[in-house]
Amino acid sequence: MSQLQTLRGMADQLPTGINSWQQLEAIAREHMRRACVSEIRTPLLEATELFARGIGAATDVVGKEMYTFNDRGDRSCTLRPEGTAGVVRAAIQNGLLSQGPQKLWYSGAMFRYERPQAGRMRQFHQLGLEFLGFNEPRSDVEAIVIAWDLLMDLGLKELKLELNSLGNKADRLNYRNQLVKWLEQHQNQLDPDSQERLQTNPLRILDSKNPNTQELLKTAPELVAALCPESLERFEQVQLGLIALQIPYQLNPRLVRGLDYYGHTAFEITSAALGAQATVCGGGRYNGLVEQLGGADTACIGWAMGLERLVLLMQNQSSTTAAAPDLYVISQGEKAEAIAIKAARELRQKGHRVELDHSGAGFAKQMKRALKSAAPFALLIGAAEASSGKLQLKNLQSNSSELVELNQLAGLLGI
């Protein structure tokens, strides 16, 4: 029989690497708590129409990356490829927006049928933030600062924040016409993907990963030149906000988010250490989406981070060590083993991290494992200890031992 395997592009997270994930999740949760952003959890499976309407049919995600199938009731369902559409649907469906603006975050698995490579998976994980009902440039600044500070706290180095403004609808239409006109003059120099996008989604060509197209685009008209005075003023406000908080950024006139409902602020945070899959966080303002999904006109800004890429960076750039137990419990003999499990339970109830050895092997063997666990203390219970009720607590650093009773243990561990 052939060995069963994960599907292509899907990975197990094994105990040896889980520490970075847990650390990342804990730091993210704490940053959201401090910023008074509330968590929201939405289903992994949604009606396909949500993404077709919410992300846009002309995008790569909807056009070729979704896991879509009909369920047994013949409804077209899709495994979520991103989090924003579901969060906005949930906010509309549950009347959250009628209770006032919402600061929300989510984290979980997303699914895209892409060509797997380092930092690009078919099941991957995102942490996202969505501010629904916020229009002030200050809210753009707050959203960006939360992302930036979180990444700094993960111990990541050499991150780059790139910023652009997509302006309002009229600015974009204006620019789109200019760009299409210019691109049509250079059509034969464009890669095939970009030629196709010229008809469907020309702004997205700016995001092309093709080096020749990128080179060509250096001389293309720039979006910022098409912004009206109000859009420019808004862009300036966001930049002044970042400067005031000493968040370093670079303007990138070719940074776009592909979707029609994105406008004004667009940003990405990248790490040169990641190679081709450099973007760890992408975000922007999406004032048209809530309406597009059937809600009232609502100004929104949000971002999403790719956790696989962050974990790769954390494992290379910051030190994460597995937590050692506070105590390693060694026992031999029936009576001793019964005391051992009782001691472990009581200490765990007091909050200690206790590893219980079940092997029944000789003391020397169990002691070897205790040393390997890096616990500061081992508790030894043999026949003599079991009958006297005096247990041997060994300090594994100093190698000294003392006899203690069960009820003294928690105090002696001193953790």
Q: How far is the CB of 387 from ligand ATP (least distance, A)?
A: 58
Distance, in Å, from the CA atom of 45 to the CA atom of 60, rounded to the nearest integer, reads 19
Q: How far is the CB of 56 from ligand ATP (least distance, A)?
A: 12
Nearer to ligand ATP, 85 or 375 (CB): 85
Nearer to ligand ATP, 304 or 370 (CB): 304
Q: How far is the CB of 10 from ligand ATP (least distance, A)?
A: 11
Q: How far is the CB of 309 from ligand ATP (least distance, A)?
A: 5
The region, left, alpha or beta by phi > 0 then psi within -120 to 50, assigned to residue 390 is beta
Task: Rule CB under 6 A: choose which of 24, 121, 238, 266 binds ligand ATP.
Answer: 121
Q: Please give the backbone phi and psi of residue 56, each rounded to the nearest 5 degrees, phi first.
A: 105, 130
Distance, in Å, from the CA atom of 307 to the CA atom of 251, rounded to the nearest integer, reads 25
Nearer to ligand ATP, 149 or 355 (CB): 149
Q: Does 306 interact with ligand ATP (rule: CB under 6 A)?
A: yes
Span between the terminal Cα atoms of the chain, in Å: 50
Report the DSSP pairing between strands 377-381 and 263-271: unpaired
Single out the segment in contact with ligand ATP by CB under 6 A; choices: 121-129, 194-202, 229-237, 393-401.
Answer: 121-129
Report the DSSP pairing between strands 159-165 and 123-132: unpaired
Adjacent-strand bridge partners of 402: 393
CB-nearest residue to ligand ATP = 306
Q: How far is the CB of 305 from ligand ATP (least distance, A)?
A: 6
Nearer to ligand ATP, 268 or 326 (CB): 268
Residue 173: closest CA among 97, 251, 241, 227: 227
Distance, in Å, from the CA atom of 121 to the CA atom of 111, rounded to the nearest integer, reads 8
Task: Rule CB under 6 A: choose which of 105, 106, 124, 235 binds ligand ATP.
Answer: 124
Helices 229-244, 137-153: crossing angle, 10 deg rounding: 40
Distance, in Å, from the CA atom of 42 to the CA atom of 40, rounded to the nearest integer, reads 7
Q: How far is the CB of 385 from ligand ATP (least distance, A)?
A: 52
Q: Are 306 and 273 in contact (CB under 8 A)?
A: no
Q: Are 87 and 42 in contact (CB under 8 A)?
A: yes
Task: Rule CB under 6 A: choose which of 46, 130, 142, 308 binds ligand ATP.
Answer: 308
Single out the segment in contact with ligand ATP by CB under 6 A; choices: 116-124, 243-251, 288-296, 320-328.
Answer: 116-124
Q: How far is the CB of 207 from ligand ATP (least distance, A)?
A: 7
Structure tokens at 377: 């203390």
Nearer to ligand ATP, 183 or 304 (CB): 304
Q: How far is the CB of 121 from ligand ATP (least distance, A)?
A: 4
Distance, in Å, from the CA atom of 299 to the CA atom of 23, rounded to the nearest integer, reads 33
Q: Are 68 and 89 in contact (CB under 8 A)?
A: no
Which x/- pattern over 65-104 shows residues binding ligand ATP (rule: CB under 6 A)? -----------------x----------------------
Q: How far is the CB of 118 from ligand ATP (least distance, A)?
A: 10
- What part of residues 249-288 is at the interface with ligand ATP (CB under 6 A)? 277, 279-282
Nearer to ligand ATP, 65 or 355 (CB): 65
Residue 50: closest CA among 91, 80, 94, 95: 80
- Which residue ranges make up the site for ligand ATP (CB under 6 A)? 82, 112, 114, 119-121, 124, 126, 277, 279-282, 304, 306, 308-309
